[in-house]
Structure 1
Amino acid sequence: MYVFVYGSLCKHQKNHDLLNEAVLYAEQAWTAGSLYTGSSYYPLLIKDDTAVTYGELYEINENSLEHLDFLEGHTSKEALFKRESALVGTEKGDVEAFVYYWPHATGGTHVPFNDWKVHQMTADPFIYYFAYGSCMDHVRFTEHKVDHLFTELKGKGELEHYRLGFSHHLSDGGRADIIEDTGHSVEGVVYEISENALEYLYQREGVNTGGYRPTVVDLILNDDTLVQALSFTVLDKKDDLTPPLHYASEIHRGGSKYLSPHYMTGIEQRFLNDLPVRDFYDYLQKRSRKK
Protein backbone atom coordinates (compact mmCIF):
# COMPACT_ATOMS: atom_id res chain seq x y z
CA MET A 1 0.00 0.00 0.00
CA TYR A 2 1.05 3.61 -0.55
CA VAL A 3 0.62 6.93 1.21
CA PHE A 4 0.99 10.44 -0.20
CA VAL A 5 2.51 12.93 2.24
CA TYR A 6 2.69 16.69 1.76
CA GLY A 7 3.58 18.28 5.10
CA SER A 8 5.22 17.28 8.37
CA LEU A 9 5.78 13.69 7.14
CA CYS A 10 7.98 14.75 4.22
CA LYS A 11 11.76 14.41 4.28
CA HIS A 12 13.49 16.68 6.83
CA GLN A 13 10.13 17.63 8.35
CA LYS A 14 9.07 17.19 11.98
CA ASN A 15 7.24 13.83 11.76
CA HIS A 16 9.24 12.13 9.02
CA ASP A 17 10.62 9.57 11.47
CA LEU A 18 7.19 7.91 11.48
CA LEU A 19 8.09 6.70 7.96
CA ASN A 20 11.26 4.91 9.07
CA GLU A 21 9.79 1.58 7.95
CA ALA A 22 8.50 3.05 4.68
CA VAL A 23 10.17 3.00 1.26
CA LEU A 24 10.30 6.17 -0.82
CA TYR A 25 8.56 5.44 -4.11
CA ALA A 26 8.62 8.95 -5.61
CA GLU A 27 10.08 12.21 -4.34
CA GLN A 28 8.14 14.06 -7.03
CA ALA A 29 4.48 13.18 -6.53
CA TRP A 30 1.20 15.05 -6.82
CA THR A 31 -2.55 14.73 -6.34
CA ALA A 32 -5.66 16.86 -6.72
CA GLY A 33 -6.19 19.37 -3.93
CA SER A 34 -5.31 22.78 -2.53
CA LEU A 35 -2.92 23.34 0.35
CA TYR A 36 -3.47 25.84 3.17
CA THR A 37 -1.61 26.88 6.29
CA GLY A 38 -3.15 25.84 9.58
CA SER A 39 -2.85 27.05 13.15
CA SER A 40 0.04 24.68 13.83
CA TYR A 41 3.24 23.45 12.11
CA TYR A 42 1.45 21.33 9.49
CA PRO A 43 -0.53 22.28 6.35
CA LEU A 44 -4.13 21.39 5.49
CA LEU A 45 -5.03 19.61 2.24
CA ILE A 46 -8.48 20.52 0.94
CA LYS A 47 -10.20 18.54 -1.79
CA ASP A 48 -10.11 20.55 -5.03
CA ASP A 49 -10.23 18.96 -8.47
CA THR A 50 -9.07 22.22 -10.08
CA ALA A 51 -5.70 22.32 -8.26
CA VAL A 52 -2.66 20.10 -7.77
CA THR A 53 -0.71 19.63 -4.53
CA TYR A 54 2.88 18.32 -4.51
CA GLY A 55 4.50 15.97 -2.05
CA GLU A 56 6.15 12.55 -1.71
CA LEU A 57 4.86 9.01 -2.17
CA TYR A 58 5.85 6.12 0.12
CA GLU A 59 5.19 2.39 0.20
CA ILE A 60 4.15 1.50 3.76
CA ASN A 61 3.10 -1.47 5.90
CA GLU A 62 0.18 -1.89 8.32
CA ASN A 63 2.30 -0.83 11.30
CA SER A 64 3.22 2.47 9.65
CA LEU A 65 -0.39 3.06 8.66
CA GLU A 66 -1.50 2.69 12.29
CA HIS A 67 1.07 5.28 13.38
CA LEU A 68 -0.04 7.69 10.65
CA ASP A 69 -3.73 7.23 11.50
CA PHE A 70 -2.95 8.09 15.12
CA LEU A 71 -0.88 11.15 14.16
CA GLU A 72 -3.56 12.47 11.82
CA GLY A 73 -6.38 11.78 14.29
CA HIS A 74 -8.08 9.63 11.69
CA THR A 75 -9.38 7.09 14.22
CA SER A 76 -10.51 9.57 16.89
CA LYS A 77 -14.18 10.32 17.52
CA GLU A 78 -13.80 13.82 16.06
CA ALA A 79 -11.47 13.06 13.16
CA LEU A 80 -8.77 15.67 12.65
CA PHE A 81 -7.84 14.44 9.17
CA LYS A 82 -9.81 12.01 7.03
CA ARG A 83 -7.92 9.24 5.23
CA GLU A 84 -9.16 8.40 1.74
CA SER A 85 -7.84 6.63 -1.33
CA ALA A 86 -6.89 8.86 -4.26
CA LEU A 87 -4.95 8.79 -7.50
CA VAL A 88 -1.39 10.11 -7.09
CA GLY A 89 0.77 11.08 -10.06
CA THR A 90 4.48 10.31 -10.31
CA GLU A 91 7.04 10.35 -13.11
CA LYS A 92 6.73 6.54 -13.15
CA GLY A 93 2.96 6.69 -13.64
CA ASP A 94 -0.18 7.02 -11.53
CA VAL A 95 -0.58 5.12 -8.25
CA GLU A 96 -3.57 4.60 -5.95
CA ALA A 97 -2.58 5.79 -2.48
CA PHE A 98 -3.93 6.90 0.87
CA VAL A 99 -4.21 10.66 1.34
CA TYR A 100 -5.10 12.54 4.54
CA TYR A 101 -7.54 15.39 3.83
CA TRP A 102 -8.65 18.22 6.08
CA PRO A 103 -12.46 17.82 6.16
CA HIS A 104 -13.19 21.00 8.13
CA ALA A 105 -13.32 24.70 7.32
CA THR A 106 -9.96 26.43 7.07
CA GLY A 107 -9.08 29.97 8.05
CA GLY A 108 -5.51 29.65 6.85
CA THR A 109 -3.86 31.14 3.80
CA HIS A 110 -3.19 29.35 0.54
CA VAL A 111 0.29 27.82 0.25
CA PRO A 112 2.03 29.14 -2.91
CA PHE A 113 2.50 26.45 -5.59
CA ASN A 114 0.68 23.99 -3.26
CA ASP A 115 4.10 22.78 -2.13
CA TRP A 116 4.81 22.84 1.61
CA LYS A 117 8.54 22.14 1.27
CA VAL A 118 8.97 25.09 -1.11
CA HIS A 119 6.88 27.24 1.23
CA GLN A 120 9.08 26.31 4.21
CA MET A 121 12.35 26.83 2.35
CA THR A 122 11.52 30.19 0.77
CA ALA A 123 10.61 31.60 4.19
CA ASP A 124 14.34 31.79 4.92
CA PRO A 125 16.19 34.97 3.87
CA PHE A 126 18.97 32.99 2.15
CA ILE A 127 18.59 29.63 0.43
CA TYR A 128 20.57 27.29 -1.79
CA TYR A 129 19.64 27.21 -5.46
CA PHE A 130 20.59 24.33 -7.76
CA ALA A 131 21.15 25.30 -11.41
CA TYR A 132 21.61 22.46 -13.89
CA GLY A 133 20.80 24.17 -17.21
CA SER A 134 21.55 27.56 -18.72
CA CYS A 135 21.61 29.24 -15.29
CA MET A 136 25.03 27.66 -14.74
CA ASP A 137 26.30 30.25 -17.23
CA HIS A 138 26.82 33.75 -15.82
CA VAL A 139 26.55 35.50 -19.19
CA ARG A 140 22.74 35.74 -19.15
CA PHE A 141 22.80 37.01 -15.56
CA THR A 142 25.09 39.81 -16.68
CA GLU A 143 22.95 40.60 -19.73
CA HIS A 144 19.86 40.82 -17.52
CA LYS A 145 21.74 42.96 -14.97
CA VAL A 146 21.14 40.51 -12.12
CA ASP A 147 24.66 39.08 -11.85
CA HIS A 148 25.02 40.78 -8.44
CA LEU A 149 22.31 38.44 -7.15
CA PHE A 150 24.31 35.32 -8.04
CA THR A 151 27.75 36.03 -6.60
CA GLU A 152 27.64 33.50 -3.73
CA LEU A 153 28.71 30.32 -5.54
CA LYS A 154 29.09 27.18 -3.48
CA GLY A 155 30.50 25.09 -6.33
CA LYS A 156 29.28 21.78 -7.69
CA GLY A 157 26.21 19.98 -6.43
CA GLU A 158 25.09 16.46 -7.33
CA LEU A 159 21.45 15.41 -7.40
CA GLU A 160 21.21 11.63 -7.08
CA HIS A 161 18.41 9.49 -8.57
CA TYR A 162 17.53 12.05 -11.24
CA ARG A 163 18.54 12.32 -14.87
CA LEU A 164 19.00 15.35 -17.08
CA GLY A 165 16.19 15.60 -19.61
CA PHE A 166 15.16 18.13 -22.24
CA SER A 167 11.44 17.79 -21.78
CA HIS A 168 10.34 21.43 -22.02
CA HIS A 169 9.53 22.13 -25.67
CA LEU A 170 9.87 25.61 -27.16
CA SER A 171 9.65 26.62 -30.80
CA ASP A 172 13.43 26.38 -31.29
CA GLY A 173 14.02 23.16 -29.31
CA GLY A 174 14.14 21.55 -25.88
CA ARG A 175 15.06 23.00 -22.52
CA ALA A 176 16.63 21.19 -19.57
CA ASP A 177 14.74 19.35 -16.86
CA ILE A 178 15.46 17.12 -13.85
CA ILE A 179 13.51 13.86 -14.07
CA GLU A 180 13.37 11.39 -11.18
CA ASP A 181 15.14 8.21 -12.26
CA THR A 182 16.90 5.77 -9.90
CA GLY A 183 20.53 5.02 -10.74
CA HIS A 184 21.24 8.33 -12.46
CA SER A 185 22.50 11.68 -11.20
CA VAL A 186 22.57 15.30 -12.35
CA GLU A 187 25.40 17.71 -11.62
CA GLY A 188 24.91 21.44 -11.40
CA VAL A 189 26.05 24.70 -9.85
CA VAL A 190 24.90 25.69 -6.36
CA TYR A 191 24.31 29.33 -5.45
CA GLU A 192 23.23 30.91 -2.19
CA ILE A 193 20.51 33.39 -3.12
CA SER A 194 18.07 35.87 -1.60
CA GLU A 195 14.42 36.68 -2.28
CA ASN A 196 15.32 39.14 -5.06
CA ALA A 197 17.11 36.41 -7.00
CA LEU A 198 14.13 34.12 -6.47
CA GLU A 199 11.78 36.62 -8.10
CA TYR A 200 14.05 36.76 -11.14
CA LEU A 201 14.24 32.97 -11.38
CA TYR A 202 10.45 32.59 -11.18
CA GLN A 203 10.13 34.94 -14.13
CA ARG A 204 12.96 33.37 -16.12
CA GLU A 205 11.70 29.82 -15.59
CA GLY A 206 8.14 30.72 -16.57
CA VAL A 207 6.76 29.63 -13.21
CA ASN A 208 3.64 31.78 -13.55
CA THR A 209 3.08 30.76 -17.18
CA GLY A 210 3.17 27.00 -16.71
CA GLY A 211 6.76 26.29 -17.78
CA TYR A 212 8.49 25.09 -14.63
CA ARG A 213 7.58 24.74 -10.97
CA PRO A 214 9.89 25.16 -7.96
CA THR A 215 10.83 22.03 -6.03
CA VAL A 216 13.10 21.15 -3.11
CA VAL A 217 15.79 18.51 -3.61
CA ASP A 218 18.68 17.00 -1.64
CA LEU A 219 22.16 17.77 -2.98
CA ILE A 220 25.64 16.49 -2.25
CA LEU A 221 28.14 19.37 -2.29
CA ASN A 222 31.84 19.18 -3.14
CA ASP A 223 32.76 18.42 0.47
CA ASP A 224 30.17 15.60 0.67
CA THR A 225 27.83 17.78 2.73
CA LEU A 226 24.14 17.00 2.19
CA VAL A 227 21.99 20.13 1.79
CA GLN A 228 18.49 20.99 0.69
CA ALA A 229 18.19 23.29 -2.29
CA LEU A 230 15.54 24.90 -4.43
CA SER A 231 15.47 23.95 -8.09
CA PHE A 232 12.97 23.87 -10.94
CA THR A 233 11.33 21.02 -12.82
CA VAL A 234 9.16 21.03 -15.94
CA LEU A 235 5.41 20.88 -15.40
CA ASP A 236 4.33 19.43 -18.75
CA LYS A 237 7.05 16.89 -19.47
CA LYS A 238 7.43 15.64 -23.03
CA ASP A 239 9.98 13.38 -24.74
CA ASP A 240 13.51 14.78 -24.88
CA LEU A 241 13.94 17.31 -27.68
CA THR A 242 17.26 18.57 -29.07
CA PRO A 243 18.06 22.03 -27.68
CA PRO A 244 19.24 24.94 -29.86
CA LEU A 245 22.94 25.71 -30.11
CA HIS A 246 22.82 28.86 -27.98
CA TYR A 247 21.19 26.95 -25.12
CA ALA A 248 23.50 23.92 -25.39
CA SER A 249 26.46 26.33 -25.41
CA GLU A 250 25.27 28.03 -22.22
CA ILE A 251 25.00 24.67 -20.45
CA HIS A 252 28.44 23.61 -21.64
CA ARG A 253 30.15 26.94 -20.99
CA GLY A 254 28.70 27.29 -17.50
CA GLY A 255 29.10 23.65 -16.51
CA SER A 256 32.71 23.32 -17.68
CA LYS A 257 33.85 25.66 -14.89
CA TYR A 258 32.43 23.60 -12.05
CA LEU A 259 31.25 20.13 -13.04
CA SER A 260 33.29 16.92 -13.18
CA PRO A 261 35.15 16.02 -16.42
CA HIS A 262 33.21 12.75 -16.59
CA TYR A 263 29.86 14.55 -16.43
CA MET A 264 30.95 17.15 -18.99
CA THR A 265 32.04 14.40 -21.38
CA GLY A 266 28.57 12.93 -21.05
CA ILE A 267 27.01 16.32 -21.86
CA GLU A 268 29.19 16.64 -24.96
CA GLN A 269 28.25 13.15 -26.16
CA ARG A 270 24.57 13.89 -25.75
CA PHE A 271 24.81 17.07 -27.82
CA LEU A 272 26.93 15.34 -30.46
CA ASN A 273 25.13 11.99 -30.69
CA ASP A 274 21.97 11.40 -28.65
CA LEU A 275 20.42 14.82 -29.17
CA PRO A 276 22.65 16.15 -31.95
CA VAL A 277 22.84 19.94 -31.78
CA ARG A 278 23.58 21.59 -35.10
CA ASP A 279 27.08 23.19 -35.14
CA PHE A 280 27.88 21.98 -31.62
CA TYR A 281 31.03 20.24 -32.88
CA ASP A 282 32.23 23.55 -34.35
CA TYR A 283 31.52 25.22 -31.02
CA LEU A 284 33.69 22.65 -29.24
CA GLN A 285 36.49 23.14 -31.75
CA LYS A 286 36.48 26.89 -31.23
CA ARG A 287 36.59 26.49 -27.46
CA SER A 288 39.46 24.05 -27.76
CA ARG A 289 41.50 26.47 -29.85
CA LYS A 290 40.99 29.23 -27.26
CA LYS A 291 42.51 27.16 -24.46
Structure 2
Amino acid sequence: MTVLLFVYGLLRKREKNHQLLKGARCVCEQAAINGVLYETDKGLPAASLTGTSFIYGELYETDHQMIRELDAHYLDFERRETAVNTDLGNKTAFAYVMKPEKCVPFDRIESGDWKEYRFMKREDDSPVYYFAYGSCMDNARFKQAGVDHFFAEPIGGAVVEGYSTRFTLKRPDGSRADLVEDGGRTEGVLYKLPFEAATYLYKREGVDSHTYRPAFVDACANGRVYTGCLTFLVLEKAEEIAPPGHYQEEIERGADLYLSPDFSEKLKRYMNSLPKI
Protein backbone atom coordinates (compact mmCIF):
# COMPACT_ATOMS: atom_id res chain seq x y z
CA MET A 1 0.00 0.00 0.00
CA THR A 2 1.33 3.43 -0.92
CA VAL A 3 1.19 6.55 1.25
CA LEU A 4 1.79 10.23 0.55
CA LEU A 5 4.56 12.24 2.20
CA PHE A 6 4.89 16.03 2.20
CA VAL A 7 8.47 17.31 2.48
CA TYR A 8 9.50 20.93 3.02
CA GLY A 9 13.18 20.95 3.92
CA LEU A 10 16.20 18.71 3.47
CA LEU A 11 14.18 15.93 1.81
CA ARG A 12 13.30 18.16 -1.16
CA LYS A 13 14.96 17.84 -4.56
CA ARG A 14 18.65 18.71 -4.54
CA GLU A 15 18.71 19.05 -0.75
CA LYS A 16 21.19 16.94 1.21
CA ASN A 17 18.73 14.32 2.53
CA HIS A 18 16.84 13.84 -0.73
CA GLN A 19 18.58 10.50 -1.31
CA LEU A 20 16.49 9.11 1.56
CA LEU A 21 13.52 9.29 -0.84
CA LYS A 22 15.22 7.19 -3.53
CA GLY A 23 12.53 5.29 -5.37
CA ALA A 24 9.67 7.52 -4.18
CA ARG A 25 7.61 9.15 -6.92
CA CYS A 26 7.23 12.92 -6.91
CA VAL A 27 3.51 13.64 -7.21
CA CYS A 28 3.73 17.45 -7.03
CA GLU A 29 6.63 19.90 -6.94
CA GLN A 30 4.37 22.75 -5.84
CA ALA A 31 2.47 21.68 -2.73
CA ALA A 32 1.60 23.47 0.50
CA ILE A 33 0.34 22.81 4.02
CA ASN A 34 -0.89 25.14 6.74
CA GLY A 35 1.73 25.82 9.38
CA VAL A 36 4.79 27.85 10.28
CA LEU A 37 8.31 27.19 9.04
CA TYR A 38 11.37 27.84 11.18
CA GLU A 39 15.15 27.70 11.07
CA THR A 40 16.38 25.85 14.14
CA ASP A 41 19.38 26.77 16.26
CA LYS A 42 21.30 24.21 14.19
CA GLY A 43 20.46 26.01 10.95
CA LEU A 44 17.98 23.35 9.87
CA PRO A 45 14.33 23.63 8.78
CA ALA A 46 11.47 22.65 11.09
CA ALA A 47 7.71 23.11 10.77
CA SER A 48 4.81 23.24 13.18
CA LEU A 49 1.19 22.64 12.21
CA THR A 50 -0.26 25.80 13.64
CA GLY A 51 -1.97 28.86 12.18
CA THR A 52 -3.14 29.53 8.64
CA SER A 53 0.13 30.48 6.96
CA PHE A 54 1.51 28.24 4.23
CA ILE A 55 4.59 26.03 4.16
CA TYR A 56 5.69 25.11 0.64
CA GLY A 57 7.25 21.85 -0.42
CA GLU A 58 6.88 18.70 -2.50
CA LEU A 59 4.55 15.72 -2.34
CA TYR A 60 5.80 12.15 -2.78
CA GLU A 61 4.22 8.74 -3.10
CA THR A 62 6.09 6.15 -1.06
CA ASP A 63 5.54 2.97 0.98
CA HIS A 64 5.46 2.01 4.64
CA GLN A 65 8.98 0.59 4.58
CA MET A 66 10.40 3.96 3.58
CA ILE A 67 8.25 5.67 6.20
CA ARG A 68 9.66 3.39 8.91
CA GLU A 69 13.19 4.26 7.77
CA LEU A 70 12.39 7.97 7.84
CA ASP A 71 10.86 7.62 11.31
CA ALA A 72 14.21 6.33 12.54
CA HIS A 73 16.06 9.20 10.85
CA TYR A 74 13.77 11.99 12.13
CA LEU A 75 13.59 11.04 15.81
CA ASP A 76 13.36 14.71 16.89
CA PHE A 77 10.19 15.14 14.83
CA GLU A 78 6.63 13.87 14.98
CA ARG A 79 5.06 12.25 11.93
CA ARG A 80 1.60 13.73 11.52
CA GLU A 81 -1.14 13.53 8.91
CA THR A 82 -2.12 16.87 7.40
CA ALA A 83 -4.05 18.34 4.49
CA VAL A 84 -1.94 19.23 1.45
CA ASN A 85 -2.97 21.76 -1.17
CA THR A 86 -1.95 21.12 -4.80
CA ASP A 87 -3.02 22.48 -8.18
CA LEU A 88 -4.95 19.24 -8.72
CA GLY A 89 -6.86 19.44 -5.45
CA ASN A 90 -6.40 18.64 -1.78
CA LYS A 91 -4.62 15.51 -0.56
CA THR A 92 -3.83 14.01 2.84
CA ALA A 93 -0.21 13.16 3.59
CA PHE A 94 2.28 12.53 6.36
CA ALA A 95 4.74 15.28 7.31
CA TYR A 96 7.58 15.41 9.85
CA VAL A 97 6.90 18.34 12.17
CA MET A 98 7.64 19.67 15.65
CA LYS A 99 5.32 20.67 18.45
CA PRO A 100 4.74 24.45 18.45
CA GLU A 101 6.25 24.89 21.93
CA LYS A 102 9.55 23.36 20.76
CA CYS A 103 9.75 25.95 17.97
CA VAL A 104 9.44 29.02 20.24
CA PRO A 105 13.23 29.74 20.33
CA PHE A 106 13.64 29.37 16.57
CA ASP A 107 13.60 32.05 13.87
CA ARG A 108 10.48 32.06 11.73
CA ILE A 109 10.90 31.85 7.94
CA GLU A 110 8.25 34.27 6.73
CA SER A 111 8.07 33.01 3.15
CA GLY A 112 7.29 29.48 4.31
CA ASP A 113 9.68 28.13 1.68
CA TRP A 114 13.06 26.67 2.69
CA LYS A 115 14.42 26.78 -0.87
CA GLU A 116 13.42 30.43 -1.30
CA TYR A 117 14.88 31.29 2.12
CA ARG A 118 18.23 29.79 1.17
CA PHE A 119 18.07 31.41 -2.26
CA MET A 120 17.70 34.88 -0.75
CA LYS A 121 20.50 34.26 1.76
CA ARG A 122 23.03 33.18 -0.87
CA GLU A 123 26.42 34.82 -0.57
CA ASP A 124 28.07 33.67 -3.79
CA ASP A 125 27.97 35.56 -7.09
CA SER A 126 26.71 32.69 -9.23
CA PRO A 127 24.08 33.69 -11.81
CA VAL A 128 20.34 33.28 -11.34
CA TYR A 129 18.38 31.45 -14.02
CA TYR A 130 14.89 32.88 -14.33
CA PHE A 131 12.01 31.30 -16.26
CA ALA A 132 9.52 33.87 -17.61
CA TYR A 133 6.25 32.75 -19.18
CA GLY A 134 4.10 35.91 -19.20
CA SER A 135 4.79 39.58 -19.82
CA CYS A 136 8.43 39.24 -18.74
CA MET A 137 9.10 37.43 -22.03
CA ASP A 138 8.98 40.97 -23.49
CA ASN A 139 11.56 43.65 -22.61
CA ALA A 140 9.43 46.81 -22.96
CA ARG A 141 8.84 47.24 -19.24
CA PHE A 142 12.44 46.31 -18.46
CA LYS A 143 13.49 49.33 -20.52
CA GLN A 144 10.91 51.59 -18.87
CA ALA A 145 12.19 50.57 -15.43
CA GLY A 146 15.82 51.01 -16.46
CA VAL A 147 16.69 47.39 -15.67
CA ASP A 148 17.03 46.01 -19.21
CA HIS A 149 20.77 45.55 -18.63
CA PHE A 150 19.90 42.79 -16.13
CA PHE A 151 18.09 40.88 -18.89
CA ALA A 152 20.70 41.29 -21.62
CA GLU A 153 21.70 37.58 -21.61
CA PRO A 154 18.60 35.55 -22.45
CA ILE A 155 19.40 31.88 -22.85
CA GLY A 156 16.41 31.67 -25.18
CA GLY A 157 13.20 29.71 -25.42
CA ALA A 158 12.79 27.00 -22.79
CA VAL A 159 10.42 24.14 -22.00
CA VAL A 160 9.07 23.26 -18.57
CA GLU A 161 7.43 19.85 -18.23
CA GLY A 162 4.50 19.19 -15.91
CA TYR A 163 3.03 22.71 -16.06
CA SER A 164 0.63 24.72 -18.21
CA THR A 165 0.43 28.47 -18.74
CA ARG A 166 -2.91 29.66 -17.42
CA PHE A 167 -4.48 33.02 -16.53
CA THR A 168 -5.68 32.72 -12.94
CA LEU A 169 -4.82 36.13 -11.48
CA LYS A 170 -7.93 38.30 -11.74
CA ARG A 171 -7.51 42.05 -12.10
CA PRO A 172 -10.07 44.82 -12.85
CA ASP A 173 -9.01 44.91 -16.51
CA GLY A 174 -8.62 41.16 -17.01
CA SER A 175 -6.25 38.38 -15.95
CA ARG A 176 -2.53 37.82 -15.58
CA ALA A 177 -0.49 34.69 -16.31
CA ASP A 178 0.24 31.80 -14.01
CA LEU A 179 1.94 28.40 -14.12
CA VAL A 180 -0.33 25.55 -13.03
CA GLU A 181 1.14 22.14 -12.21
CA ASP A 182 -1.33 19.97 -14.07
CA GLY A 183 0.94 17.56 -15.95
CA GLY A 184 1.11 19.72 -19.06
CA ARG A 185 4.01 21.19 -20.98
CA THR A 186 4.72 24.87 -21.42
CA GLU A 187 7.27 27.19 -22.95
CA GLY A 188 8.79 30.46 -21.85
CA VAL A 189 12.02 32.44 -21.87
CA LEU A 190 15.03 31.51 -19.75
CA TYR A 191 17.22 34.40 -18.63
CA LYS A 192 20.64 34.38 -17.02
CA LEU A 193 20.63 37.18 -14.45
CA PRO A 194 22.81 38.72 -11.76
CA PHE A 195 21.39 38.05 -8.31
CA GLU A 196 20.51 41.73 -7.81
CA ALA A 197 17.87 41.41 -10.54
CA ALA A 198 15.80 39.32 -8.11
CA THR A 199 14.95 42.50 -6.17
CA TYR A 200 13.32 44.00 -9.25
CA LEU A 201 11.44 40.78 -10.04
CA TYR A 202 10.14 40.41 -6.47
CA LYS A 203 8.77 43.95 -6.62
CA ARG A 204 7.30 43.60 -10.12
CA GLU A 205 5.57 40.33 -9.24
CA GLY A 206 4.14 41.67 -5.99
CA VAL A 207 5.78 39.17 -3.67
CA ASP A 208 5.42 41.43 -0.61
CA SER A 209 1.74 42.01 -1.41
CA HIS A 210 1.19 38.24 -1.74
CA THR A 211 0.23 38.42 -5.42
CA TYR A 212 2.82 35.95 -6.72
CA ARG A 213 5.23 33.77 -4.80
CA PRO A 214 8.74 32.78 -5.90
CA ALA A 215 9.15 29.11 -6.83
CA PHE A 216 11.68 26.93 -8.60
CA VAL A 217 11.31 24.73 -11.70
CA ASP A 218 13.56 22.82 -14.08
CA ALA A 219 13.73 24.23 -17.61
CA CYS A 220 15.23 22.75 -20.78
CA ALA A 221 16.84 25.21 -23.21
CA ASN A 222 19.17 24.54 -26.14
CA GLY A 223 19.42 20.88 -25.20
CA ARG A 224 20.46 21.53 -21.60
CA VAL A 225 18.41 21.15 -18.43
CA TYR A 226 18.73 24.07 -16.00
CA THR A 227 17.66 22.98 -12.53
CA GLY A 228 16.05 25.13 -9.85
CA CYS A 229 15.18 28.09 -12.09
CA LEU A 230 13.42 30.98 -10.37
CA THR A 231 9.86 31.67 -11.48
CA PHE A 232 6.69 33.14 -9.92
CA LEU A 233 3.32 31.50 -9.26
CA VAL A 234 -0.05 33.09 -8.47
CA LEU A 235 -0.99 32.68 -4.82
CA GLU A 236 -4.77 33.04 -4.99
CA LYS A 237 -5.88 31.36 -8.20
CA ALA A 238 -9.24 32.43 -9.63
CA GLU A 239 -11.33 31.15 -12.51
CA GLU A 240 -9.62 32.05 -15.76
CA ILE A 241 -10.62 35.09 -17.80
CA ALA A 242 -8.94 36.75 -20.77
CA PRO A 243 -5.95 39.05 -20.22
CA PRO A 244 -6.28 42.73 -21.21
CA GLY A 245 -5.06 43.75 -24.66
CA HIS A 246 -1.88 45.54 -23.55
CA TYR A 247 -0.79 42.56 -21.46
CA GLN A 248 -1.56 40.07 -24.22
CA GLU A 249 0.51 42.15 -26.64
CA GLU A 250 3.53 41.87 -24.35
CA ILE A 251 3.13 38.10 -24.14
CA GLU A 252 2.73 37.77 -27.91
CA ARG A 253 5.84 39.87 -28.63
CA GLY A 254 7.94 37.69 -26.36
CA ALA A 255 6.37 34.49 -27.67
CA ASP A 256 7.00 35.42 -31.31
CA LEU A 257 10.63 36.19 -30.51
CA TYR A 258 11.56 33.20 -28.36
CA LEU A 259 9.01 30.37 -28.39
CA SER A 260 8.40 27.66 -30.95
CA PRO A 261 5.90 28.73 -33.66
CA ASP A 262 3.48 25.95 -32.72
CA PHE A 263 3.43 26.84 -29.04
CA SER A 264 3.28 30.57 -29.76
CA GLU A 265 0.19 30.07 -31.92
CA LYS A 266 -1.35 27.72 -29.35
CA LEU A 267 -0.86 30.31 -26.60
CA LYS A 268 -2.47 33.06 -28.70
CA ARG A 269 -5.48 30.87 -29.46
CA TYR A 270 -5.83 29.99 -25.80
CA MET A 271 -5.79 33.63 -24.65
CA ASN A 272 -8.35 34.52 -27.31
CA SER A 273 -10.59 31.65 -26.23
CA LEU A 274 -10.92 32.83 -22.62
CA PRO A 275 -14.09 34.63 -21.52
CA LYS A 276 -13.88 38.42 -21.38
CA ILE A 277 -14.73 40.37 -18.26
Q: What's the TM-score once normalised by structure 1's chain length?
A: 0.87
The whole-number CA distance in structure 1 between the counterparts of 2:212 and 2:112 is 14
CA shift, 1:111, in A, is 2.2
Matched, 1:140 2:141: yes
Equivalent residue number for residue 286 of structure 1:
none
Cα 1:187/1:161, change in 2 over 3 Å: same
**Unmatched tracts of structure 2, length 5 or more:** none
CA shift, 1:204, in A, is 1.0
The residue identity in structure 1 corresponding to 2:81 is S
The residue identity in structure 1 corresponding to 2:82 is A
The whole-number CA distance in structure 2 between the counterparts of 1:123 and 1:153 is 24
The whole-number CA distance in structure 2 between the counterparts of 1:6 and 1:234 is 19
Matched, 1:120 2:98: no
Is the 1:118–1:230 Cα contact (8 Å) retained in structure 2? no
The whole-number CA distance in structure 2 between the counterparts of 1:223 and 1:41 is 37
Equivalent residue number for residue 247 of structure 1:
247
What secondary structure, in the 3-state scheme, does the structure 2 residue paired with 1:54 have? Answer: strand
Which is strand-richer, 1 or 2? 2
Equivalent residue number for residue 77 of structure 2:
81
CA shift, 1:119, in A, is 1.9
What secondary structure, in the 3-state scheme, does the structure 1 residue paired with 2:115 have? Answer: helix
Cα 1:277/1:151, change in 2 over 3 Å: farther
The whole-number CA distance in structure 1 between the counterparts of 2:23 and 2:271 is 42
Q: Which runs of 4+ in 1 moved over 3 A?
A: 39-42, 105-108, 122-125
Equivalent residue number for residue 8 of structure 1:
10
The whole-number CA distance in structure 1 between the counterparts of 2:146 and 2:180 is 30
CA shift, 1:196, in A, is 2.6
The whole-number CA distance in structure 1 between the counterparts of 2:263 and 2:160 is 12
Task: Output the aligned Cα RMSD.
Answer: 1.8
Matched, 1:275 2:259: no
Q: Deviation string for 1:90-149 (max 9, x for gaps)?
A: 111111111111232454432241101122233344311111000010011001111122
Moved more, 149-158 or 248-257: 149-158
Alignment of 1:56-135 (within 5 A): 56-73=58-75, 80-103=76-99, 104-124=102-122, 125=125, 126-135=127-136
The residue identity in structure 2 corresponding to 1:204 is R
Is the 1:37–1:43 Cα contact (8 Å) retained in structure 2? yes
**Unmatched tracts of structure 1, length 5 or more:** 74-79, 279-291
Is the 2:241–2:275 Cα contact (8 Å) retained in structure 1? no
Equivalent residue number for residue 281 of structure 1:
none
Cα 1:157/1:39, change in 2 over 3 Å: farther
CA shift, 1:233, in A, is 0.4
The residue identity in structure 2 corresponding to 1:263 is F
How many equivalent residue pairs?
270
